[in-house]
Each structure stands twice: as structure tokens, then as C-alpha cells.
Chain A
């Protein structure tokens, strides 16, 4: 079984991010970057599928800056066989441009499965997986929470509002992975050492062919980034049961939530 996993380098949501001087970008100073957590589930799934099949290859592919090599090596340390960095300093704001670059790389790869995290935690777009499927003319199942594969078809479960949707699909297919599909392994120390020696292809790319309005080409432009408003300090309106009438009055008249 030959599996590709598309992974993204993202800022760790646990670090406090600052907005750059241009008001549009991220100030990367002191920010820790990690493998997108949803992609971790996708990598783990690829490894388990490959291990189960007893043969095959798990290839991780990232579109990103040179530093994304480190992200790729995290996946290699977990156990992926080789990595491809589609290198650009301009990661597109337009998901379609990212999808085009990835699809071009994936097209002739002969993959049985192409996995994505359901979304990247930096832009929350949920776009790239389905777009790649569309560009490659492959079936796509998003937010997969349970997965069975037998022969050249598979069954996936998706958690939808109020229930579970069961979807059958033929291989090859593109799947985007929901958290909880598996428990991603820690990259073991031997894996970390071995990752250095695994093949990592770096291919320079120019998303959007260098044209288009936004960063990395395409039709989407980030015009501003704004931090969430500071939460206003709370107020203590009284203590015990005696405070309840006043609290209800304020919730009704001031906060207008009742």
C-alpha cells in the first residue's frame, strides 16, 4: 500500500502569537512551529495502514518554507519512509493554489491513499484535501473518524450533526482525517536519529505561477490580521442568593442574553 500524507508546518497554538508589523503576517520571532495536529493523525493512520499491510510506503509531502524540513523530519521520526518538500517562502493564502502544487506532485505518484488532516490549525480552511481530490479526479471523504480498508475499497465513518455517516469509496482516494481516528505515536529517539538518514527531496515551487493578487498567488488576499479583543474584566455583583436578582437584571438589560 502506497500512501501519501500531506502535512503542514503551523504555529503551535500553545504559544502566544503576535501579528507582524505589516498587520497581515505572523511575527515568527519566538514562535514554536509544529506539525499540524490533525496531520499527525493522518501520519499515524498511514503508518498503521502500512504496518498492517506489511509492505508499502508512507510518503510525507509538505508545501512550505525551508524550515518545513523540520516538520517533515518529525513525520519521518514517527516512521514515514521519505519526505518531499515543495519549497516556497510564499505559502498561498488561497487553498486552491496550494492544492494545485500538491496535486501536481501527487499526480503520477501511484498512491492508493492520499491523506490530509481535516484542516490546518492556522487558517482553519478545510479546503486543500477536497480540492486536491477534485484536481486529481479522485473520490474524497472528509473528516474521517473511523476507517476500514479491504482490497481496493474502503468504508469511512464521519461524525455529522446528530449521528454518524457511513461512506463507501473505491481506492485510490483522498481522505481528510478527524482527530481521534487513532492515537499518534511519539517520535521515538531511534526514529529521530533515523529520520536524518531518510530521503528528503526538496523541490522549489512557485505557487500561482508567481502571479495573482494574494500571497503565493491565487485570488485570496489576506488584508489584515487582528487579535481577538481582550476579555473585559469580570465584575462581582454580590454574594450568595442575594446577588441573583441583580445578576438576572444585568444579564437581561446589560448583556442582553436573557
Chain B
């Protein structure tokens, strides 16, 4: 049996966590050790999401864990929520992606923009993993610039009819319900974007898995096609209004990603340290050579910084003070950091580093997706640039 993961905590960050936060982290950590680590390499190579893990995640209460108990959720603070994401992504980014989509991109908009009936109908079922959701914002021709989307919703006598296509949708083919973002007004009016809850068995809705992915292989990514999809009036998320609504969801998910990336980096660092101590070359452990020590020192430094960044961001979020720009900084820094740590680990491991038996290459390949989704690294650079200078460099 593999040794249990002990975490990376050079600055006694644990002392800054509450007892509950640590307990939550430890529970998810143990669950990942027991249930994810033994199967994830194989699922990754086979190229499918390990759906058998969903009931276990639900039983622990991992879906929408920072939403209130009255809807069947765990009602945790944002730091505990972040620690869940950290531990899941220590297992695999695909697993964290699943939880991010379910919690931050589907349950969160239902909670924030939904009617009381919608919340009661969907949230408990999603918390218990009986209903799986996906989030359709990106389109084939509109990635970084979702305001240009072409998906349209038109009001009918009985409700709405949706037409369009969505691309790169996590959980798209497994989901029971899709949050679809569409323009209810003119094609050039992003203020008319609103969210719809579309059951995936509705006539005219189809999902096709994206084939040939070399990243996030243990996660389903699909293309959605909506062809004359009729939904009742109650499918509309009544409080959603304009592009800022999906962006608010993304801020939630990005917050979790900032933590998740730390988990992936910890997994790699842990692997790098153990390998460096055990692999003998030129008669001594490779960890005894300055070059490898520099690698490890750099990794530990960056992980420690990222940990503290997340923690303070979480505390600000709990006080209602975290800004989207602060979330951008954390997502941008931490995902980039984790990608570097994964790459350096992969290299430190030599030939073994390319195997699925080790974690580094899987994390490295995964993190290339994480680097791109939820606002690419570049886009977050521009968000910060605008925040700093007051000048938008987007268009």
C-alpha cells in the first residue's frame, strides 16, 4: 500500500486553519488516498471519468459544500471549501473539475439566480450526486470572449426555445441538467445573456464527447448542440441578467481552482522529494546533487507562497471582501506555479516521469487544460492589467 499523503506545510499553515477546516481536509485527503490514487492512473490512460467515485464524493458532502444546509449542502466556509478542492486535485484535476462544475458552475448559479422552487428541486439532488450538471458558456467561435456568443433563446407562448452550440463542456455527456447561457435579445447584446436549466433529455439537445484529448483524460468534455430545444418558462434562472451572471459563476470556480492547483503541485512535489531521495545515480541519491536540490527548493517555495495566497483569499471571501481581480491573481499564479512544479517533477523523475504509474506527467498534462479554462492565463493577465492601469487591453 502506498504511504498516506502527509501534505506539504513548511510554514505551519495548519495553525492558521480551524479545527473543522483541518478535519474536512483530512477526511477528503484520506478518501482520495483510499479511493482515487489506486484507480486514477488507469482511468486516465483509458480516457474516462471514474464515475464510480461520484456516490462517495456525494456521501462525504463534497458537492456545493459551501452552500447552505437547508438545501442539503454542508454549509462550509470558503477555506474549507478550498481545502476540498486542493485535496481533490491532489488526486486529479479531472476529479476537481467535476466537483467545480457541479458545485460552483451549476449549484451556485441555481442558488444565486434561481427561484425558491428551482433551488428546492435541484440543489438537494445535486448535493447527493443523483443529478449531475454541466455549464455551457463557451462556444466553438467564442472562448475568451463569451460576450460574442451566438446561442439564442427566444420566448414562446409556453416558455423558451433555444438554438446554438456549446463547446468544451465538462461533464457534458454525463450531465442530467445543463446550465445553458444564451442571448434573449439582439445578437450583439451581451446584456441580454441569461441562464437556462435544460434537462439533457429534452428533445433537440445532444452531447458528443470530445475525442483525442491528451489532457484531463479522466474527465468528460463534450460539445453540446441545441436544436429547437423547447423548455418551459420555469427553466429560466430568473435572477440571471447579462454577461456578469456567468462571470460571477466563473469567479466561484476560479477560486476553487486556485486551491486545486496547490493540491496538484503538492502531489508532484511529494513525488519529486521521494524520488530524489531514493533514486541513486553516480553512487548517491539524485537529491544530493545541487541541481535537483535547487528544483526542490524552488517547488517548496512556490507551493508555500501559493498556500498563503489561497488562505488569505479565502478569509477575504468569507468576509465578503474578495474581488474578482484578486481571484484572477490567485488562479493565474497558482495554476502557472503548479504547471511548473509538475514539469520540473516530470524532469526530475527522468524516464519514469513519463509513465502513468507516476503522477507528474498526468498532472502536467491536466494543468495545461486548467491553464486554459476558466479564463486563460493571458486573460487573467489582462484583467490584472486593467485593474492596475484602469485601461482595458482586451478589444
Please list the residues of chain A having a beta carbon within 8 angstroms of any beta carbon in chain B: 14-15, 32, 70, 73-74, 77, 186-190, 192-193, 195-196
B19 near A70 with CB under 8 A, answer: yes
B96 to chain A, nearest CB (A): 16
B20 and A196 form a contact (CB under 8 A): yes
Cross-chain contact of B30 among A77, A186, A188, A196 (Cβ < 8 A): A186
Q: Is B59 an interface residue (CB 8 A)?
A: yes
Q: Is B225 an interface residue (CB 8 A)?
A: no
Give the chain A neighbours of B20 by CB distance below 8 A: 192-193, 196
**Is A186 in contact with B24, judged by CB distance below 8 angstroms?**
no
Which A residues are CB-close (under 8 A) to B76? 189, 193
Q: Which residues of chain B are within 8 angstroms of A188 by Cβ–Cβ distance? A: 27, 59-61, 74
The tally of CB-CB contacts under 8 A between chains A and B is 48
When distances are taken between beta carbons in the complex, the residues of chain B under 8 Å from A74 are: 23
Known: A73-B23, A188-B27, A193-B76. A14 touches B4 (CB 8 A): yes
Interface string of B235-265 (1 = CB under 8 A from A): 0000000000000000000000000000000
Q: Evaluate contact between A189 and B4: CB separation under 8 angstroms.
A: no
Within 8 A of A (CB), among B31-86: 31, 59-62, 65, 69, 74-76, 80, 84
Residues of B within 8 A of A (CB): 3-4, 6, 19-20, 23-24, 27, 30-31, 59-62, 65, 69, 74-76, 80, 84
- Contact between B6 and A186, CB atoms less than 8 A apart: no
Select B3's contact among A14, A187, A192, A193, beta carbons within 8 Å.
Answer: A14
A14-B3, A14-B4 known; A190+B74 contact, CB < 8 A: yes
Main secondary structure of the interface of B (DSSP, over half): helix
- Contact (A193, B4) CB under 8 Å given A74-B23, A186-B30, A188-B60: no
Q: What is the predominant secondary structure among interface residues of chain A facing chain B?
A: helix
- A70 CA to B18 CA in the complex, in Å? 11
Given contacts A15-B6, A186-B60, contact A192 B23 (CB under 8 A): yes
Taking the closest CB of chain B, its distance from the CB of A126, in whole angstroms, is: 24
Q: Are B23 and A187 in contact (CB under 8 A)?
A: yes
With beta carbons under 8 angstroms apart, the residue of A70, A77, A189 that contacts B62 is A189
- Distance in angstroms from B28 CB to nearest chain A CB is 8
Give A92 to B111 CA distance when docked, in angstroms: 52
Contact of B65 among A15, A70, A186, A189 (CB under 8 A): A189
